[in-house]
Structure formats: C-alpha cells, structure tokens
Amino acid sequence: MTWLEGTVIENRHWTDALFSLRVRAPRLSFQAGQFVRIALDVEGERVARPFSFVNPPADPLLEFYGIVVPEGPLSPRLEKLSAGDRLYVASNPAGFLVLSEVPDAGTLWLISTGTGIAPYLSILRTETPWQRFSDVVLVHAVRYAQELVYQDLLKKMQRPGFKYVTFVSREPHPGSLAGRVPAAIRDGRLEAAAGAALDAAGSHVMLCGNPQMLKDATAALAERGMRKHRRRNPGHITVESFW
C-alpha cells in the first residue's frame, strides 16, 4: 500500500462537529460504498482513519464526511484544514458495503446513523441502484435536525421509487420520526413512513452506523425472518462497521 498526496479543495462545516472535505488527489479505483484511509502527519507519525467516499467513482474529486472526536488524534485536525492544505489518501480502498455483493430484491433499504450516510450518497449517485431495484429507501437517523446534512444533494436525487426517511431523536422535528431505528422496525413505523414493506420476501437491507444501531437493527430484522447476507449463504442484511 502506498500513500497518495491530496489537496483540500473545500472544507464545509455543517455544524461545530460535522464537516465534509473535498479533495483533489490521484484517481482511485473503488466501488460506490467503499471506504479508504486518509491521514495526516502528526508529531512525526502518520495518523490514519477510514472514511467512506461520499463521491461516486466517476467524480474526479474525492469527498469525505466526518465527525470531530474531541480527544481523537486525527479528526480535530482534519476539521481545521483549509483549501490548499495537504493530506494523504491510501491507495487501497476497501469494504463490502457495495451493491456488487447484494442479491436482487424488490426494495433496497439503506439505513444509517450519523456519518454512516456517506457510503449511501456515493451509491445513490450511480445508476446501479435505480437499475436493479424497484424501490430504494434511504433512512438517516441523527440526534438533532441540523445533522440532517446534504439536503441539496438529496433533493436532486428525487425520482420515482425513491423514499427518504429521517429520524431525529433528541428534539421534535416535523416530518421526521422520533426515537431509534430498531424500535421503528419493530412497531412498523419505519415501513409506514417509507410506504414500503420490510420483509424477507422482497427486501435487502444495508446497515451503516454506530455499533449499537447495527446490533439492535440486525436483531429486529432477524425477528422478521431476515438474516445476514454471505456469499455462500445468501441473506437479507449487509452490515458495515469500521469504528
């Protein structure tokens, strides 16, 4: 593995803790939904963390969406980068949260919390989901309404068969569901909001987000007869967890 040098083109601050970096770097070969390590040199050591691509593979600029971990060695520094600053991008993207690993289904559910929406934004900006699935449901769960990022981009994605469902857990927000995703799977609120069935007969679910959501949502889906997807044992749930 080698490190590629990149230049920050833009650092967009959504909130005090959420930011998106657009980076010009040598072209990388990756599948929508994958991640790559990005790095800075900190006190003589190269510190790296994985970030999902927000941009589709065809986009010449790389884009990463991150949250500041206050005591972390990397994210507070990334958040302070300005246009023209340099960083490093690993040459070996990886990850299996990609549609080439997903079996055919009627409805594709893309369920995320926080920055876990990033790989889905990459996937949705390719033609593959629209060609393979009749309906696509994007679910984004956050704490506060201001964390519902990329609204302009999502408006451009609107097309028949696309549903966008939001959860805001720590304040009332018109148009968003309250509480947590696993509970809304169990009581049917998620299906009602999406206007689509969530079942083993016609759905495939991709999960990306905090570990507790992944665990609890997987359990709630298992109660509906759904199981994790593996190449040798096809199922209905694909999970990505890299933190």
What pLDDT, on a 0 to 100 scale, did the predictor assign at position 242?
A: 57
CA angle 51, 57, 58 (to 5 degrees): 145
What pLDDT, on a 0 to 100 scale, did the predictor assign at position 240?
A: 81
| pLDDT one-digit tens code per residue, 128-151 | 999 999 999 999 999 999 999 999
Question: Is residue 1 very low, low, confident or very high in pLDDT (cuts 50, 70, 90)?
Answer: confident
Check residues 231 and 147 and name the one with the higher pLDDT: 147
- Give the pair of three-digit tokens for residue 71: 């005591």
What pLDDT, on a 0 to 100 scale, did the predictor assign at position 206?
A: 98
Question: Is residue 194 very low, low, confident or very high in pLDDT (cuts 50, 70, 90)?
Answer: very high
> Top-level CATH class of 3-90?
mainly beta
Exposure string over 35-63, b if 16+ CB within 10 A, otherwise e: bbbbbbeeeeeebbbbbbbbbbbeeeebb
**Could you tell me the fold of the domain covering 99-240?**
Rossmann fold (3.40.50)
Q: Give the number of other Cβ atoms within 10 Å of residue 187's Cβ.
A: 12
CA angle 177, 175, 239 (to 5 degrees): 45
Among residues 65, 165, 172, 184, the alpha carbon closest in space to that of 114 is found at 65
Q: Where in the chain is CATH 2.40.30.10?
A: 3-90
Q: Are 135 and 106 in contact (CB under 8 A)?
A: yes
Percent of the chain with pLDDT over 70: 99
Mean pLDDT (whole number) for 168-179: 97
| pLDDT one-digit tens code per residue, 36-78 | 999 999 999 999 999 999 999 999 999 999 999 999 999 999 9
pLDDT at 19 over 60: yes
| pLDDT one-digit tens code per residue, 79-133 | 999 999 999 999 999 999 999 999 999 999 999 999 999 999 999 999 999 999 9
pLDDT at 243 over 90: no
Q: Where in the chain is CATH 3.40.50.80?
A: 99-240
Residue 106 gets the label, from left (phi > 0), alpha (psi -120 to 50) or beta, of: alpha
Gap between the Cα atoms of 27 and 237, Å rounded: 31
pLDDT at 241 over 80: no
User: 186: part of which helix (H) or strand (E)?
Assistant: helix 181-187
pTM of the model: 0.96
